[in-house]
Amino acid sequence: MAGMGLPVVFVAVTLLLSWDTGSTVNPCCSFPCQHRGVCVRFEMDTYECDCTRTGYSGTNCTIAELWTKIREFLHPSPGFSHYILTRFKWFWDIINATFIRDSIVKLVLTVRSNLIPSPPTYNSAYGYISWEAYCNVSYYTRVLPPVPEDCPTPMGTKGKKQLPDANLIAEAFLMRETFIPDPQGSNLLFAFFAQHFTHQFFKTYGRMGRGFTSGYGHGVDLSHIYGDNLERQHKLRLFKDGKMKYQIIKGDMYPPTVLEAPVNMTYPDNIPMEKRLAVGQEVFGLLPGLMMYATIWLREHNRVCDVLKKEHPTWDDEQLFQTTRLVLIGETIKIVIEDYVQHLSGYYLKLKFDPELLFGVQFQYRNRIAVEFNQLYHWHSLMPDKFNIMEHEYSYSNFVYNTSVLLDHGVEALVESFSKQIAGKIGGGKNIHPRLIKVAVGVIEESRKLRLQSFNEYKKRFGMKPYKSFQDLTGEVNTASQLELMYGDIDALEFYPGLMLEKPQPNSMFGESMTEIGAPFSLKGLMGNPICSPEYWKPSTFGGNIGFNIVKTASIQKLVCRNLKRCPYVAFRVPDTDSKDITSPGKEAPDEL
């Protein structure tokens, strides 16, 4: 029996399906194996469903075992969970003040993380378990195997034999007509944080082929600060007191130029060398918002070096550098969970970064970035029509590759301005600026090269009910009828368009699938970091209690305000007009630890 750990494999002979050539269709093209069962083809027209440890048995893994029935009966739907977690603030205020909070957060972390296969399973080259898919970290991994190459349609057996033009899909359903603000009040400080944070592990490397990544790290390693290889890191380091290279402009610290730190950076030819700032991630010169965060983290690194140097005067440059990097990794994870994900979720349950919550459960401290996570995280709808910096207004043409915006206005001005400018709504469609629509086209085209399974297959994989119609997906008629005309079948809808066009949850920036698929990847990647393991999570790893406390008390406000001369309003949502949280311009930054 499957519950006893022995494979439950059933053989079924499928009907012979005719294609234009009269050939037999690969039976796995119809994705007959349900509930994470694995389809294995034998003869031309026979297959087996391996239902091992799925909680199901039967020919297609559809017969639920007793404990599965009980679990499914007790498990709330994603919609119901979202409803409860985003309402009844008075109730969650009580829960957050008790030990029950830790139990719920632990449950959230384990349930979400268990949805991600660890060790990894498939990649772009292998749609079956293989050693190469496991050990070759040059590939993104993937949760579902590719659609078999010999299927009658691009999505298996459903839909039309040719997918609609990617440009047509993007322009008809995703391109902005009128800016739609995010109903959760997300601001540009949030938008640029999302972009800067994910660029440390989303590094698609098309020159090697499909599904490759250029980075050696598959998680939070801060390679966007330190570089993704030792040579780049050394060019950015000062090799004194553990610090990174920097320059002083108008009394403030900024990244060095490429003349002082000769690393490869992506800038147009017309940008003067003295305006080309050098940081860990080569594309950060693209947007002042990305370079703003790079500057803040540079200052934080050198600040923490000073704290550790004072505490450990005998430490050499290397130990100061390496320990500071671990402190900043810890700060990053704390900020992402308790500030960034907290805002993203809209939950009244107060999330908590406490690795010790998982010490008593089975957990693997390793992560691999999946291509589905990379696809999902293209949130270019967040970008506005224009950028407002104090009294200045910048169009895309004047904003892109303009480091002078940062150097002339200063970090304080950018933080204050980005905090107060609302970002766009991600889900629901028609909100990507025309200047950025080519990115969405590229995502759709890449998913086709990688032969990603349909949106509904991913909904089933992550425990959601598949949609029965396009109107069920979008919640309205016009878009639904156009989609049906183009795709022919809801089971043929592609992954990325499905995520972007799904009807958003009430007062949310996107639909349930973005949360239910994205959250497991995010939480597994964060809590699977080595610093969260029992071997690492202790004061000595971070230079003693002083470094450990920097990690455990980190927040986006502290990160920013400890590295500015004055502390502006700092949050991931725009301030309410009657908010009492807006910091006065002259308020001092919090005391340093």
Instruction: Give the three-class secondary structure for 79.
Output: helix
Q: Catalytic one among 35, 196, 199, 218?
A: 199
Of 249, 252, 255, which Cα lies nearest the Cα of 291?
255
The answer to whether 424 and 181 have CB atoms below 8 angstroms apart is: yes
Torsion of CA 543, 533, 520, 144, to 10 degrees: 120
Main-chain phi, psi angles of 537, to 5 degrees: -75, 80
- In angstroms and rounded to an integer, the radius of gyration of the C-alpha atoms of the chain is 25
DSSP E strand boundaries for 72-194: 122-123, 141-142
As a whole number of angstroms, the distance between CA 339 and CA 281 comes to 23
As a whole number of angstroms, the distance between CA 73 and CA 88 comes to 24
Of 337, 439, 342, which Cα lies nearest the Cα of 382?
439
* Residues whose CB is less than 8 angstroms from the CB of residue 110 and which lie 6 or more positions away in sequence, other chains included: 358, 361, 363
User: Residue type for 471, please?
Assistant: Q
Instruction: Give the three-class secondary structure for 95.
Output: helix
3-state helix, strand and coil shares in percent for the chain, rounded to the nearest 5: 45, 10, 45
Please confirm, yes or no, whether 199 is among the known catalytic residues. Answer: yes
- For the chain, the first-to-last Cα distance in angstroms comes to 57
The answer to whether 16 and 43 have CB atoms below 8 angstroms apart is: no
As a whole number of angstroms, the distance between CA 367 and CA 145 comes to 18
Find the largest Cα–Cα distance for the chain.
Answer: 78
Please confirm, yes or no, whether 301 is among the known catalytic residues. Answer: no
Q: Catalytic one among 140, 377, 467, 487?
A: 377
The answer to whether 447 and 440 have CB atoms below 8 angstroms apart is: no
- Backbone dihedral region for residue 143 (phi beyond 0: left; psi -120 to 50: alpha; all else: beta): alpha
As a whole number of angstroms, the distance between CA 343 and CA 347 comes to 8
Main-chain phi, psi angles of 101, to 5 degrees: -55, -45
The answer to whether 49 and 60 have CB atoms below 8 angstroms apart is: yes
Residue bearing tokens 């799925």? 54
Which helix (H) or strand (E) segment holds residue 262: the answer is none
DSSP state for residue 382 in the 8-state scheme: G
Q: What is the separation of C-alpha 273 from the centre of its chain, rounded to a whole number of angstroms?
A: 33
Asked if the bond preceding 313 is cis, omega within 30° of 0, the reply is no
Of 449, 365, 406, 363, which Cα lies nearest the Cα of 106?
363
- What is the set of active-site residues? 199, 377
